[in-house]
Amino acid sequence: MKKVAIALGLILGLSNLARAQNSTQQMGMPSSSAEMGMHQAMTTMCQSMDSMQMSGDIEKDFVMMMIPHHQSAVDMATAYLREGKDPELVMMAKKIIVDQNKEIASMKAWLSAHQTSQPVSTN
């Protein structure tokens, strides 16, 4: 339980760091389609995580926060593949897309299996 709480704290901290970094980098706006895609992925993740209402159920909250986090990785990897050329990074991006999508599906399945009387939104 303590490890889950620490992990959730790290996720929230990273979300705040990403948001702070985003606000200080406005002068260096993305110049390519891939850069804009990666920037949008981070913005969407931060907005999704910031707007999530914590339920008080650490397991549910952890999974609910991890889904947009993983989706952001998929979106950033997809954006990279539009223009990225480095063979090692191309392979890494493709692996991220496959692995993170599997984990998102697992988390959604976990939420479904642990559904309470109130419906859980995964977006």
Global pTM value: 0.64
Neighbours of 4 (CB within 10 A): 12
What is the per-residue pLDDT across 81-112, written as a single tens digit (0 to 9) for each?
A: 999 999 999 999 999 999 999 999 999 999 99
Domain coordinates in residue numbering, the chain: 2-113
What are the DSSP calls for 40-98, one per residue?
HHHHHHHHHHHHPPP-S-HHHHHHHHHHHHHHHHHHHHHHHHHH---HHHHHHHHHHHH
25-68 pLDDT per residue, tens = 454 666 777 778 777 777 777 777 777 888 899 999 999 999 99
Nearest to 57 by CA among 108, 123, 1, 122: 1
Pick the CATH number of 2-113 from 1.25.40, 1.20.1260, 1.10.3470, 1.10.10: 1.20.1260
